[in-house]
Amino acid sequence: MTAVRHVPMLIGGEEAAGRGVFEVRDPGRAREVVAVVEDGGLGHADAAVAAAACAGARWKRTPGEERALVISKAADDCEAAAGALAPLLSRENGGTLTESRMDLLRGTALLRDFVALAPGFLAPRTAETGTHWLSVEKAPVGVVALIVPWNSPIVLTMSKLGPALLAGNTVVVKPSVLAPAALTEYLRHLAALLPPGVLNVVHGDAEVGQALAAHPAVRKVSFTGSVAVGRQIMAAAAGNLKKVSLELGGNDAAIVLDDADFDVAVPRLCQGAFTRAGQICFAVKRVYVPRRRFAEFYERLCATADGYRVGYGLDEQATFGPLISARERDRVRGLAERARSAGAEVRELGRPTDAVDWDAGHYLLPAVVRGLEPDAELVAVEQFGPVLPVLPYRDEDQAVAFANGTEYGLASSVWGTDTDRAIGVARRIEAGATFVNSHNLSSLSFDMPFGGVKGSGLGRERTALGLQEYVEDHAIRLVR
């Protein structure tokens, strides 16, 4: 039996106790408690914001290069800690060890990317004529609240925290109650090198999140999570007209063109749909295939998914792990059952790993579904689980109309061997990102911003656009 972690809050450079504690259970072995976490309330949110406000004056005066040095050193410490944190992360969010290692390593890589980018980005832009002098300067926004989900907590937090701190803001992070332990431990390595109060962590759920989003001393809230909560964050932030960044859900369409090479497309697309049991904001969530190649594609997709093994995250055999909670598993199962009742074929594929205690966790096998109407529930909602609808289309125009016929607009993909044509189709899709012949960020270069259009959010993360989310441009103009 692995030891149960105690997870404190961090307020003003000190570990802080809550008004009680809550437990984090292992989604793969639900009887096991992974961590006991100090549960914050409104008073703790207030104290964390006050600590961040107090630390702000000094941190923003610290030269940008010095801030970058501190974050760079912290990235080294985080990297050294990553190996030990991966199993803890898998045990709290159910991901495989590979998924957890990637989350930790990419989180650190993001910090380094921002360290490299920040000094140039933050340098003032000046212009001068005989009569005028102008300086456009990047000032920090102030106290920033970062409210994050459980599925890739390290990457999703670092894509906010890196630019926020480097730009001179002070921060309160609110992790998800479902996976707060590895993230808090990671943040402790960062906080240890920062002046007290620059980085604070408060635990708790909706009440604490709402308090931060509404707090009059918080100048910006950056949120990653569901569309429904994103709306509430935006409403709460309206009180003092906070800046808001929202990275929300998606219903990513994959359009397979009639010249697609199935040897390439099927395994990549399948991975894009089922990694982390489909619990990724930009997973492939629906697939559109030309009618004349539909049957072949469907069989190939089913054959690939049938090779998958579902099991405990720490089991090296597992292709993917459990869903995050019994409620989520039942919700996804309900979507599949209603699709079946409506006359669709729901093909359950793959098999459990040899070692898994199936009933002890929230496991679901991968399923591929055909025979749905284009506006069926499973096609229209973000399923956020391993049940993938595949639908035929008549021509490119119809495929693009299907892809765009949603309030979501996070990512998407187009698959074809004529890449000029595929890129042409990609341009017609309403999304923050469209991949051609892939559907993942593994080959992500630092030059690619990430974020959604329409109901999938506001703003962009990564790149200079990600830094821009955490600054106010201050124009200073002198007339001689």
Q: Write out the residues near ligand NAD by the rule CB under 6 A.
A: 147-151, 156, 174, 176-177, 205-206, 209-210, 213, 224-226, 229, 232-233, 247-250, 281, 382, 384, 410, 452, 457
Pick from 28, 37, 43: nearest CA to 9: 37
- Which of these is catalytic: 38, 92, 382, 461? 461
Q: Compare residues 159 and 353 and give the one whose CB is closer to ligand NAD.
A: 159
Q: 3-state class of 126 per DSSP?
A: strand
What's the min distance (Å) between Cβ of 79 and ligand NAD?
22
Q: Compare residues 167 and 237 and give the one whose CB is closer to ligand NAD.
A: 237
What's the min distance (Å) between Cβ of 193 and ligand NAD?
25
Q: 3-state class of 447 per DSSP?
A: coil
Q: Which two tokens stand for residue 72?
A: 């760079």
Q: Which two tokens stand for residue 179?
A: 């996976």
Distance in angstroms (rounded) separating the CA atoms of residues 329 and 218: 36
H or E, element range at 115 = helix 97-122
Distance in angstroms (rounded) separating the CA atoms of residues 20 and 18: 5
Q: Compare residues 205 and 472 and give the one whose CB is closer to ligand NAD.
A: 205
Distance in angstroms (rounded) separating the CA atoms of residues 278 and 254: 14
Q: Compare residues 75 and 441 and give the one whose CB is closer to ligand NAD.
A: 441
Interior/surface letters 153-183, b for 16+ CB within 10 angstroms, e for the rest: bbbbbbbbbbbbbbbbbbbbbbbbbbbbbbb
Q: How many CB atoms lie within 10 A of CB 99?
A: 24
What's the min distance (Å) between Cβ of 9 and ligand NAD?
14
Q: Which two tokens stand for residue 410?
A: 């996070």
Q: Compare residues 392 and 466 and give the one whose CB is closer to ligand NAD.
A: 466
DSSP E strands, 12-142:
14-16, 20-26, 29-39, 125-128, 132-140
Q: Compare residues 78 and 281 and give the one whose CB is closer to ligand NAD.
A: 281
The terminus-to-terminus CA distance of the chain in angstroms comes to: 74
Distance in angstroms (rounded) separating the CA atoms of residues 91 and 8: 18
Q: How many CB atoms lie within 10 A of CB 445?
A: 9
Distance in angstroms (rounded) separating the CA atoms of residues 187 and 66: 19
Annotated active-site residue 15? The verdict is no
Distance in angstroms (rounded) separating the CA atoms of residues 188 and 182: 10
- Under a CB-based contact definition with an 8 Å cutoff, are residues 87 and 93 in contact? no
- Which of these is catalytic: 281, 302, 328, 469? 281
What's the min distance (Å) between Cβ of 476 and ligand NAD?
35
Q: Compare residues 68 and 213 and give the one whose CB is closer to ligand NAD.
A: 213
What's the min distance (Å) between Cβ of 175 and ligand NAD?
6
Residue with smallest beta-carbon separation from ligand NAD = 209
Q: Would you give the DSSP letter of residue 3?
A: P
Annotated active-site residue 247? The verdict is yes
- Which of these is catalytic: 138, 160, 174, 220? 160
What's the min distance (Å) between Cβ of 322 and ligand NAD?
15
Annotated active-site residue 281? The verdict is yes
- Which of these is catalytic: 38, 99, 185, 247? 247
What's the min distance (Å) between Cβ of 279 and ligand NAD?
7
Q: List the catalytic residues.
A: 160, 247, 281, 461
